[in-house]
Amino acid sequence: MISSGGIDREDKTIESLAGHRRFAPGRALALALGFAVVAAACGSGGSTASPAAGSSGPSAGTPVPSVSVPSFSFPASAPPTANTSETLRELAGSRYFGTALAMPQLQTDAKYAQMAGTEFSSVTPENAMKWGPLEPSRGQYEWADADAIVAFAQAHDQKIRGHTLVWYQQLPRWVSDGGFTKAQLTDILQQHIATEVGRYAGKIYAWDVVNEVIAADGSMRDDIFLKTLGIGYIADAFRWAHAADPQAKLYINDYDVEGINPKSDGLYNLVKSLKSQGVPIDGVGIQAHFDANLAFPTDMTANLQRFADLGLDVAITELDVRINTPATTAELAKEADYYGQTVASCLAVTRCVGLTVWGFTDKYSWVPMTFPGLGAADLYDASYAPKPALAAVQEALAGH
C-alpha cells in the first residue's frame, strides 16, 4: 500500500511539475554542472515545460548533462547482471519489454541506439509524439523525430506505444492559451487525434489516448479539457482514435495508480464506466514512476488484476525508480527490489501484456531535472554499466 504521504508527495511534485521543470531544478543543475540550460518554458512549450518544443530537457536539444553517480561496489548478493546472456526482450518471452526513446540521443549516441535496438522489443517516444513538440504552431507539424523513432522501431522489429494524444502537460501554447469555445476545442482535439493517429495508422501497437486525467483524490483532473469540454471528451477521444486506427490498442495512462488507493479507485470507476458505455478502450497503463523513499505498494498485483478483470489489458508503461543521489549500495539494492517487484507483479497477471522502462540509462533520465536530490532511476548507470536493478529484472523475467 502506498502511504498517503507517498501519494501526497508524488502528487504535489507532479502538480507543480511545470514549475519544477521550468525553473529551479533544471537551472540549479545546469549551474552546478556549468551548462547553459534554457528554461524549458521558452518557445512554444505552452503551459508546461516542453523540452521538445523548447530547447532544454532530457530529450530535446543537446543531451542533458549527465548526473554522474560515484562509483560503488555491488553487494555480493546482487551481481550486476544475472547469470544470463539473454536480452530483456528475449527473457520477457510472450510479453514485450520496452523503453522510452528520445532524441537527439538516438541519432547522436551510438551506444544508446545499439542498446535500444537490441535489448527491447517495444519503444515509446519519450516526447516526440506529444502535442507541444508535434504541433508547436497551429497547423505546423514537426514530424521528424516521431517519424525517426517509428522507423527505428520498425527496423528493429519493435512494437510502438504512441504517447500521448491528450495530456494537460506539454501542450502547445496556442492550445492552452487559445481561449477556445467548447465547439472550437472539440474540433481542434478531433483534428489533432485524427491527424496523428492517422499518420501512423497500422504502425502503432498501442496509444496512450488520455494521460493523467485523474486527480489524487480520484476525481477527474480539472484541466483545460475537462473545463472546456466536460467529461465527455474522454469517450470522444477514444472514439476518434479508434476511427483513425481500428487496429491500435487504446489505453488510459496514469501515475500513482500502482497500488489500490483513492486515485486508482477513481481510475477504476472511470474505466468501468467507459467500458459499460461501449467506449473502445483496450487497456490501462500504469506508469510506475517509483520513489524508493516511499513504500512499495504490496497490493500492486491485486490492483493490476482488478483492471484485468474488467476485460482490459494492463501494462507497466513508464517504469523507473528514483533514489537519493549520490547513490549508495543500499539505495541501489532498494531500487533493484522495486524493479524486481514490479516485474513480478506484471508477470503474475495474465493480462499484463508488457513493461516499458522510462529510459534505460541514467545518462538521459528525466528524474534529476524533475525531482531535485533524486536520480539514478534507470537500469544502467550514466556510463551504461549495468546496475543491480538490471539483474533484478533479469532474474524476475527468467524465473517466470
| Between 169 and 325, CB nearer to ligand XIL | 169
Among the listed ranges 52-60, 77-85, 87-95, 346-354, the one in contact with ligand XIL (CB under 6 A) is 52-60
Site residues for ligand XIL, window 300-319 (CB under 6 A)?
Answer: 318
211 binds ligand XIL (CB under 6 A): yes
Tell me if 261 sits within 8 A of 302, measured CB to CB.
no
> DSSP per residue over 105-160, as a string?
HHHH-HHHHHHHHHH-SEEEESSTTSHHHH-SBTTB---HHHHHHHHHHHHTT-EE
356 binds ligand XIL (CB under 6 A): no
The three-state secondary structure class of 172 is: coil
Q: Is 10 a catalytic residue?
A: no
Helix H or strand E segment including 356: strand 352-357
Task: Find the shortest distance in angstroms from Cβ 359 to ligand XIL.
Answer: 7
Task: Find the shortest distance in angstroms from Cβ 398 to ligand XIL.
Answer: 28
Q: Which of 126, 318, 331, 395 is catalytic?
A: 318
57 binds ligand XIL (CB under 6 A): yes
Among 37, 45, 47, 59, binds ligand XIL (CB under 6 A): 59
Q: Is 318 a catalytic residue?
A: yes
| In the block, residue with C-alpha cell 467548447 | 182
**CA distances (Å), origin 12, targets 84, 100, 319, 322:** 40, 24, 19, 16
56 binds ligand XIL (CB under 6 A): no
Q: Which of 212, 331, 335, 395 is catalytic?
A: 212
Q: Give the per-residue contact string, 103-142, with ligand XIL (x = CB under 6 A; - = no).
A: -----------------------xx---------------
Burial letters for 216-248: b for 16+ Cβ neighbours within 10 Å, e otherwise? bebeebebbbbebbeeebbbbbbbbbbebbeeb
Task: Find the shortest distance in angstroms from Cβ 85 to ligand XIL.
Answer: 30
Q: Rounded to whole angstroms, how far apart are CA atoms 288 and 255?
A: 6
| Between 347 and 355, CB nearer to ligand XIL | 355
Site residues for ligand XIL, window 137-166 (CB under 6 A)?
Answer: none
361 binds ligand XIL (CB under 6 A): no
58 binds ligand XIL (CB under 6 A): yes
Identity of the amino acid at 307 = F
Task: Find the shortest distance in angstroms from Cβ 49 to ligand XIL.
Answer: 6
* Preceding amide of 326 cis, omega within 30: yes
Tell me if 207 sits within 8 A of 250, measured CB to CB.
yes
98 binds ligand XIL (CB under 6 A): no
Task: Find the shortest distance in angstroms from Cβ 65 to ligand XIL.
Answer: 14
Sign of CA dihedral 209, 52, 212, 310: positive
**Which sequence positions are flagged as catalytic?**
212, 318
Residues that bind ligand XIL (CB under 6 A): 21, 49, 51, 57-59, 126-127, 211, 287, 318, 366
